[in-house]
Amino acid sequence: MMHLVYLKLELKRALKKLPNLYAGAIVLFFLMGTIALVSVQTLYQDERTGRIAAGVVLVQDDRVAAQVMAMLESLDSVGSICDFQYMTWEESQKALKKGTVYLVIEVPEGFVSDIISGTNTPLRLIFPQNAGIEAAVFGGLARAGARTLAASQAGIYAGGELCGSYQLGSSLSQLEADLNRIYLSYSLPREDYFRHFQVSATGDVDSLHFYAISACVLLLLFLAIPVSGYLSPWKPALRRKLYMAGIDPVIRVVARILGMSLLYCLILIPAGLAGVVMAWLPVWNGMLPVLVLVGMAAASFTVCLYQLAANPLSGIMLLFLAGTGQHFMAGGFLPAVFLPAAFRSLEPVLPSAVLMNGLKMIVSQAWNPVALLKLLVLLAAGFLISLIWEVRMSCRS
């Protein structure tokens, strides 16, 4: 009975901080909205990768290789982004040093005849030490083309072996013609793939929703600042009085997390409903449960930070440093694909990433068991750390 009375008092004390929470939310909303809009414009501008200037080194009098390069250059998907410049080896090295070409393609002697005979002598691509994005794009295209060619040749060789095993030599020419037609139908119209598939740095959601979700998570974390008085650690005298009344550390921590969860839900749920009314968010029957779980996980994290701090001022500083630092490493300011590999390895377990993945379920309208599990783990981790610290402080009191 006493536990319920304390829980009721804690929730009532939390509701008294609601005006401060809404006032802080209004200020932070305009700040985060401005950051989100600027970030979207910065991430995807109208700039595109420039044309790729490539130097080509051919063996003298190798007319067949020259004709192959001319045919390759005539393809729309190649000619639209590449400019081939034919030069000698010495000229190509000077051009690389000056930066007039992004790479050099060295065509070995007998390149075409080796392909026909099955030797498959590779082309040599030479990149400068500080290769730009254009060189990286060409390298990716070259590797993709090599894999396509390797798959095509493997299919033709396998067909030849099959015809030989079943004494179908007369059908070999027809089989090779059919296979060449099939492989060319896949490899030549490469622009079709770019029309059907779009790669986004922000993952399953578009850049606008991504930064809106990121701003929402950062807003949640910073909303603890206007109500820092509510999150102040218990004083030693109050701890002793509560213990004498039968309120142990478990109940105190649970009540504090539920009180902060109530405040967060009173921000998240109206914001989610407003997003649906304004057609910014889709209608999904799982929205409310996800918002409640995200609010509880965020509350557990913020309560944990304030528990580790000695006073509200220390809690604000710890929240700001931990919140912004881990939010950056979680890809909240800049998508994780642009971050160093060390940050990307930590990103799945950082609180901001967990909260953002939870909110992404609302945009995608699909339950993500992994994201739900991580939210529960964050909730439990914040509770356990807060409880351990509260037990320790109670023993000192």
Q: Which CATH number goes with the domain that contains 59?
A: 3.40.1710
Are residue 238 and residue 126 in the same domain, yes or no? no
pLDDT at 173 over 60: yes
| 8 Å CB contact between 52 and 83 | yes
* Burial group, residue 66, by CB count within 10 angstroms (0-12, 13-18, 19+): middle
Are residue 62 and residue 35 in the same domain, yes or no? no
Stretch among 18-22, 27-31, 133-137 having the lowest mean pLDDT: 133-137
CA-nearest of 55, 52, 49, 62 to 124 is 55
pLDDT bracket for residue 243 (50, 70, 90): confident
Are residue 256 and residue 380 in the same domain, yes or no? yes
pLDDT bracket for residue 302 (50, 70, 90): very high
Are residue 64 and residue 150 in the same domain, yes or no? yes
Q: What is the pLDDT of residue 385?
A: 93
Q: Write down which residue in 150, 180, 196 finishes a domain.
A: 196
Q: Phi and psi (nearest 5°) for 365?
A: 55, 45
CA distance 123 to 59: 12
Contacts with 159 (C-beta within 8 Å, 6 or more apart), sequence order: 172, 175, 176, 179
Residue span of the structural domain in which 171 resides: 52-196
pTM above 0.85, yes or no: no
Quote the number of domains for the chain.
2
Q: Write down which residue in 196, 231, 252 finishes a domain.
A: 196
Are residue 166 and residue 224 in the same domain, yes or no? no
State mean pLDDT over 167-195.
Answer: 72
State mean pLDDT over 232-244.
Answer: 82
Q: Phi and psi (nearest 5°) for 106?
A: -100, 115
Q: Phi and psi (nearest 5°) for 54?
A: -125, 130
Are residue 177 and residue 300 in the same domain, yes or no? no
Are residue 57 and residue 17 in the same domain, yes or no? no
Stretch among 12-21, 171-180, 192-201, 228-237 having the lowest mean pLDDT: 192-201
Are residue 160 and residue 243 in the same domain, yes or no? no
CA distance 117 to 110: 10
DSSP assigned state of 170: G
Are residue 332 and residue 231 in the same domain, yes or no? yes
Q: Write down which residue in 169, 196, 223 finishes a domain.
A: 196
pLDDT tens digits, one per residue of 79-98: 667 788 888 888 888 888 88
Q: What is the pLDDT of residue 47?
A: 47
pLDDT at 56 over 80: yes
User: Which is more confident, 60 or 261?
Assistant: 261
Are residue 175 and residue 124 in the same domain, yes or no? yes
User: Which is more confident, 152 or 132?
Assistant: 152
Are residue 226 and residue 374 in the same domain, yes or no? yes
pLDDT bracket for residue 197 (50, 70, 90): very low
User: Which is more confident, 8 or 77?
Assistant: 8
Are residue 189 and residue 273 in the same domain, yes or no? no
pLDDT at 196 over 50: no
User: Which is more confident, 64 or 77?
Assistant: 64
State mean pLDDT over 242-247.
Answer: 82
pLDDT at 353 over 70: yes
Kindly calculate the radius of gyration of the chain based on its CA atoms and give it in whole angstroms.
31
pLDDT at 262 over 70: yes
